[in-house]
Structure 1
Amino acid sequence: MSRSPGARVRAATALLVVAVAAAGCGPSDPSAEAGSSTLVAYTGQSGDYQINFNPFAPTSIGGGGTIFQTLFFYNVLRDAEPTPRLGAEFAWNEDGTQLSITLRDGVTWSDGEEFTADDVVFTLDMIAKHQGMNSTGYAGRAEAVDDTHVVVRFDRASFLDGPSVLGRTYIVPEHEWKDIADPAVAVVEDPVGTGPYLLEEFKPQAFTFKANPTYWGGEPAVKRVRYLSLSGNQSGTAALGAGQIDWQTGPVPEVRDVGKNYPGYRAGITHANQIALVTCSSTALGCRGPQTDPAVRQAIYHAIDRAQTNALAFENTGSDISPGFLLPDRDGDLISDDLRNRTAPMRPDPTKAQQILEGAGYAKGPDGIYARNGEPVSLTLSTVAGWTDYITAVDAIGRQLRQVGIELTQQQVSWNEFVDSRDRGAFELIIDSLYQGPAPDPYYLYNYFFSTAQTAAVGAKPGPNAGRFSDPQVDQALDALKLLDPTDTAARQPHLDTIQTRIEQVMPYIPVLTQGTISVYHDAKFTGWPTDPDLYASPAVWAHPDNAEVLLRLRPTGK
């Protein structure tokens, strides 16, 4: 006899309440927490936190937007004017080689020091000097005209640098950061920022932000935000049932019945990030293993049963994914007519997968696994322990690949181990999502994940391009796009076509699904959440700086 999600939640609730109380995360009585202005959040963190509030470090656990602010906020979910934050206004010259920024006056750092244009110039210069921080290829030269005005000059048209400089560069205090030797990886334990929150307490099981009483925009109504570390997605679901969490992003059983299963809560689903099997793809950059062969990657692409994976792992919340990595809903008009598949097939084609392998010189051995030159197509795929949806997806994909003669072994690791192996290139396959850029334009995702400038040889830390993909055709198209006005769609389309068709051919990131990002929030305790039709920011608790925008809009109900 099957048990309902509610029964599973109740069975885990008692243990969860004890665990949360033992972690120093508040009262074990959910009603005591519900009457306060403390918001309890769960990002999906599995295992203990390791302190680091450096917004540029890959091991950062928070602070982007909440402690460290950008100049403006850009909403990647819709085409809207950027919202001023540390910046008041900005303007480009006619040829896109000079960006003039006016800063907000009267802002102070949380230690009482004055925020000035020198801090902005210092931050931009720091990014330019450290490749590990420069995820967008920023090549500007910043100058402080006076305390509230900055000019950034470029050698060529750089309109597309605007959202990255203005909307995704976290400004840090020069007086605190000037002596940090390697700011790309430095551990920041006592962050000093301009944002609406301060770090109040850190423990490996939870950390707490408190409202900044001197915040330039006024002290937030949400007085504390407590981020929990649990054992994984199942614990997060149990925490919802216990009333211990107010905001969570991650899989929830029977998500379309959240209001019935968790009274007082609501759920939202957004489709912005693409789930992919990231391959260490380039032998020239030091990658080793069967996945370095494009034929193997193409065979995996055709062997995946996306409909089955969506049902088993994601409650059918995933949606179509394009092999050219444009978002079908947002970017449908830009998807190239030259692609073999406008969107990846939802059902597998085992015959095609095997034909691709055999055409590349592979033969099936007595164990049913394809091999070439004595090397079997046997791969290890890493995922983060506790990420139950991805773990289930990998289990399903492993069975699907076995049917076409590809062996897949799942390896579950901690988050920090995952990041370390990804950055060193010490992997064959990992499952992860490709995120969008600072504005709703596909250029940014391409520049992050497919540009040679954003990768590095195995053993060295890359930018976002962990797949070690490097292709001159794609690089040339990206360079051409950067020189064009982003509103000139006719001039841009041939370059977008080149990128899409090339990455479909080579496939360093094997598309799985466009992720249905599930966020559950306590609507009875706080009002002001981003919902249709007013998605003023991403509702994902881990999205930054969006999460700060959400916290600033929320109001406790006192319930």
Structure 2
Amino acid sequence: MLNKKFWYVLLVLTLFAFLLAACNSESGEDPGAEEDPGTEEQEENNEQEEEEEETEQEGPVEGGSIVGAMDTAPAGVFNPIFYSEAYEANILDFTHEALVSQNNSLEFIPSLAHDWEINEDQTEITLFLEEGVKWHDGEDFTADDVVFTYKSIASPGYTEAGGIRTEYVTPLKGYEAFNAGETEEFEGVTAVDDYTVKFTFAEPNVNPLYYVGFPIIPEHVFADVAIADMPTHEATLNPGKVIGTGPFAFTDMVEREQYVLTRNEDYWKGKPYLEQITWKVVDQSVITSLLETGEIDFVADPNGVPAADYEMVAGYENVEMIEQTDFGYQLMGFKLNYRTKEDVESGAINPDNWEENPDVADQKVRQAIAYAIDRPGLVEGLLYGRGSVINAPIAQQFWAYTEDVPQYEHSTEEAEALLDEAGYVDTNDDGFRENPDGEEWVLELAYPTGNKIRERSAPVIQENLEAVGIKVNLQQPKEMSAYINDIMTKDTNNGVDLYLLGWSLGSGDPDPSGLWNIEAAYNISRWNNPESDELIFKALEAPDAFDQEFRKKTYQEWQELFATDLPAVLLYAQNKIYAFNKRLNGIEPLPYSMINDPHLWWVDDAQ
């Protein structure tokens, strides 16, 4: 009995001592006892394990998905040789690749071609292709695919089918004969063997790497498809059928709502970290709120984060931002000429058949309109100062850009004087000017939906022009794909005098022929100025064009001609403001795009 009581008392005292020590410890008071060496060792082990876990999470993690936002739905043509706008490019930038790419200094670097040789007089460039590259459907990529791509662009019927990339093939040897259907062989591009391809130019070429830098399409998919049927073929339109060599394949879509890209497991540069990238079409007004909540992970081209939201987004703790000068510009173009109904139906672009638009034919009228538009006001009021007024249609990042051209600083007095001089005066005191024949003069201004800043600029421009007596009718805005179709492919006397549009310029060379050459499909103004074409081609003609100073001087002359004859008023270059969630890593933007090596993008919370 005594022993039992003894052990009971001893147990109580032991528990009491334990509780006392625990209370002292929780209150922050040192009980005076030396810490157990075993406990110290255990804590060190725990800290080491935590450090190891953190170290493991510092590098790229495989898996996970991200969501990007664009404010306008792609028109739906996912074929590099036929697409026409930046929203389609948002898909193609992940799915298709070219033989060469560019770095941050705009130097050409290897891509599907790992090396190349250029002959002494620069009439030939031979490229050596990467071996082991697979198309998304598992077929081998070879030189035959390169030849097929360029032959397709050079084919008879390409422009009639809506193709607009002929600038890449017109300098190649034998183009005219091949395009006319006089021969089935195209001398300009040939396969030396399965992994060697040679381009031959009709004349020495100052920048051959630019012309070999077009995205490649698969011969085995389109070989039996007539060029006229390519734009409507399933491999041009449908997810799962669009085949490229890029790091992601276009696998699914809910048209006009979302577009899904899935990891290419066999990508030749290495399997991408991300499993999936989804583009969602989101109204521009809610993009920033979705960034804050994490419902979207990035906003890139073509419009990025609205300038009005910059400060707000910069304050989001979960978002990083990138701001850089746009590689392009927004413009208000003049419809100087219209194609005939017959040419529109056949797809022909024949300046000899064009019909002049009398409402904007007078150069003085166009210059007056340039003076009337308050472009600095657009930059300050709509862009919140995050942009610049430009006067020449070459990207500011290029060595060829110049500001030594007519400036058209905002002046209602200059505008009114030029209009008076051109004979456009108010003859009935209604506040609006009539044309020189005394007839009512109303300019029709068309613009697309999607880009909210551009939408808001339309009524501002209307107000500016009406302030100098020009009556402007704002047409009902159309969704971008329908709008482009109207002003570019159905422009026969369609009642459009002025149009708003933005161009993202190519980064390979300052050559403006793709947009402003008389017969260029993208010459939406139908500007027909032979002196312009003469200067454009002079800047590319050897041997003088091998001297960059000569090219620079020639392009300066051309920019002065453009700013004087004025086929369009360049409104502004908006700063590109990209934004992405901090969970997304590996973002290294180029001067012209945020999308760069997306196979190296990764999220740190991948499961």
Please state which band the TM-score falls in when normalised by the shorter chain. 0.7 to 0.9
Paired with 2:423 and 2:590, the residues of 1 have a C-alpha distance of 52
Which string of whole-angstrom CA distances, capped at 9 and with x for unpartnered residues, describes residues 198-218 of structure 1?
A: 122111211110100011111
Residues 156-195 of structure 1 mapped to structure 2, 5 A cutoff: 156-166=203-213, 169-181=214-226, 182=228, 185-187=231-233, 188=236, 189=238, 190-195=241-246
* 1:480 matched residue in structure 2: 538
Q: Does structure 1 conserve the Cα–Cα contact (< 8 Å) formed by 2:323 and 2:575?
A: no
Aligned-partner residue type, residue 128 of structure 1: A
Q: Alpha-carbon deviation of 1:79?
A: 2.8
Alignment of 1:298 with 2:298, yes or no, is no
Among candidates 439, 442, 466, match of residue 402 of structure 1: 466
Distance of aligned partners of 1:74 and 1:312 in 2 relative to their CA distance in 1, 3 Å threshold: same
* 1:228 matched residue in structure 2: 280
Among candidates 479, 485, 493, match of residue 420 of structure 1: 485
Residues 402-481 of structure 1 mapped to structure 2, 5 A cutoff: 402-411=466-475, 412-423=477-488, 424-425=490-491, 426=494, 427-439=496-508, 441-443=509-511, 446-454=512-520, 463-481=521-539
Q: Does structure 1 conserve the Cα–Cα contact (< 8 Å) formed by 2:327 and 2:591?
A: no
2:418 alignment partner, SS class: helix
Paired with 1:518 and 1:489, the residues of 2 have a C-alpha distance of 32
Among candidates 554, 570, 577, match of residue 511 of structure 1: 570
Among candidates 295, 318, 329, match of residue 244 of structure 1: 295
Q: Does structure 2 conserve the Cα–Cα contact (< 8 Å) formed by 1:133 and 1:184?
A: no
Paired with 2:450 and 2:551, the residues of 1 have a C-alpha distance of 42
Q: Does structure 2 conserve the Cα–Cα contact (< 8 Å) formed by 1:221 and 1:552?
A: yes
Aligned-partner residue type, residue 219 of structure 1: K
Aligned-partner residue type, residue 367 of structure 2: Q
Q: Does structure 2 conserve the Cα–Cα contact (< 8 Å) formed by 1:163 and 1:438?
A: no
CA RMSD of aligned residues (A): 2.4
Distance of aligned partners of 1:492 and 1:80 in 2 relative to their CA distance in 1, 3 Å threshold: closer
* 1:138 matched residue in structure 2: 169
Q: Does structure 2 conserve the Cα–Cα contact (< 8 Å) formed by 1:282 and 1:468?
A: yes
Paired with 1:118 and 1:148, the residues of 2 have a C-alpha distance of 9
Q: Does structure 2 conserve the Cα–Cα contact (< 8 Å) formed by 1:267 and 1:520?
A: yes
Q: Alpha-carbon deviation of 1:149?
A: 0.5
Paired with 1:228 and 1:288, the residues of 2 have a C-alpha distance of 40
Identity of aligned residues (%): 23
Among candidates 81, 105, 111, match of residue 137 of structure 2: 111
Aligned-partner residue type, residue 364 of structure 1: D
Q: Does structure 2 conserve the Cα–Cα contact (< 8 Å) formed by 1:484 and 1:492?
A: no
Q: Alpha-carbon deviation of 1:490?
A: 2.7
Q: Alpha-carbon deviation of 1:137?
A: 5.2
Residues 485-500 of structure 1 mapped to structure 2, 5 A cutoff: 488-500=547-559
1:430 alignment partner, SS class: strand
Q: Alpha-carbon deviation of 1:99?
A: 1.3
Distance of aligned partners of 1:258 and 1:558 in 2 relative to their CA distance in 1, 3 Å threshold: same
* 1:95 matched residue in structure 2: 121
* 2:249 matched residue in structure 1: 198
Paired with 2:320 and 2:550, the residues of 1 have a C-alpha distance of 46
Residues 38-437 of structure 1 mapped to structure 2, 5 A cutoff: 38-45=65-72, 51-55=76-80, 56-58=82-84, 61-62=88-89, 63-75=91-103, 78-129=104-155, 130-131=158-159, 132-136=163-167, 138-139=169-170, 140=172, 141-166=188-213, 169-181=214-226, 182=228, 185-187=231-233, 188=236, 189=238, 190-204=241-255, 205-230=257-282, 232-248=283-299, 249-261=304-316, 263-282=318-337, 285-288=354-357, 290-322=359-391, 324-328=392-396, 330-331=398-399, 334-335=401-402, 337=404, 339-341=405-407, 344-345=408-409, 348-365=410-427, 366-372=429-435, 373-411=437-475, 412-423=477-488, 424-425=490-491, 426=494, 427-437=496-506
Distance of aligned partners of 1:329 and 1:375 in 2 relative to their CA distance in 1, 3 Å threshold: farther
Q: Does structure 2 conserve the Cα–Cα contact (< 8 Å) formed by 1:528 and 1:555?
A: yes
Alignment of 1:555 with 2:581, yes or no, is no
Distance of aligned partners of 1:553 and 1:300 in 2 relative to their CA distance in 1, 3 Å threshold: farther
Q: Alpha-carbon deviation of 1:195?
A: 0.9
Moved more, 142-151 or 261-270: 261-270
Q: Figure out how many residues of one structure are paired with residues of the other and give that number.
A: 488
TM-score, L = length of structure 1: 0.81
Aligned-partner residue type, residue 99 of structure 2: L
Which string of whole-angstrom CA distances, capped at 9 and with x for unpartnered residues, describes residues 107-148 of structure 1?
A: 111111111101100101111122324342523210100001
1:483 alignment partner, SS class: coil
Q: Does structure 2 conserve the Cα–Cα contact (< 8 Å) formed by 1:258 and 1:267?
A: no
Paired with 1:260 and 1:104, the residues of 2 have a C-alpha distance of 45
1:465 alignment partner, SS class: coil
Paired with 2:208 and 2:470, the residues of 1 have a C-alpha distance of 42
Paired with 1:437 and 1:53, the residues of 2 have a C-alpha distance of 18
Distance of aligned partners of 1:434 and 1:416 in 2 relative to their CA distance in 1, 3 Å threshold: closer
* 1:30 matched residue in structure 2: none
Q: Does structure 1 conserve the Cα–Cα contact (< 8 Å) formed by 2:204 and 2:542?
A: yes
Distance of aligned partners of 1:83 and 1:269 in 2 relative to their CA distance in 1, 3 Å threshold: same
Distance of aligned partners of 1:101 and 1:51 in 2 relative to their CA distance in 1, 3 Å threshold: same
Paired with 2:601 and 2:320, the residues of 1 have a C-alpha distance of 15
Q: Alpha-carbon deviation of 1:433?
A: 1.7
Query: Structure 1: 5+ residue runs without aligned partners?
Result: 1-34, 455-462, 541-546
Q: Alpha-carbon deviation of 1:281?
A: 1.5
Distance of aligned partners of 1:327 and 1:217 in 2 relative to their CA distance in 1, 3 Å threshold: closer
Paired with 1:435 and 1:126, the residues of 2 have a C-alpha distance of 24
TM-score, L = length of structure 2: 0.75
Which string of whole-angstrom CA distances, capped at 9 and with x for unpartnered residues, describes residues 470-527 of structure 1?
A: 22111111222112476613322442233112111211111111122221211x1112
Paired with 1:437 and 1:496, the residues of 2 have a C-alpha distance of 16
Q: Alpha-carbon deviation of 1:353?
A: 0.6
Q: Does structure 2 conserve the Cα–Cα contact (< 8 Å) formed by 1:473 and 1:498?
A: no
2:555 alignment partner, SS class: helix
Q: Alpha-carbon deviation of 1:265?
A: 3.5
Distance of aligned partners of 1:266 and 1:474 in 2 relative to their CA distance in 1, 3 Å threshold: same
Query: Structure 2: 5+ residue runs without aligned partners?
Result: 1-61, 173-187, 339-352
- Structure with greater Cα Rg: 2
Paired with 1:386 and 1:127, the residues of 2 have a C-alpha distance of 30
Q: Does structure 1 conserve the Cα–Cα contact (< 8 Å) formed by 2:326 and 2:576?
A: yes
Q: Alpha-carbon deviation of 1:417?
A: 1.2
Paired with 2:111 and 2:413, the residues of 1 have a C-alpha distance of 54
Which string of whole-angstrom CA distances, capped at 9 and with x for unpartnered residues, describes residues 291-318 of structure 1?
A: 3332222111101111211122212111
Q: Alpha-carbon deviation of 1:436?
A: 1.9
Q: Does structure 2 conserve the Cα–Cα contact (< 8 Å) formed by 1:274 and 1:511?
A: yes
Distance of aligned partners of 1:539 and 1:116 in 2 relative to their CA distance in 1, 3 Å threshold: closer
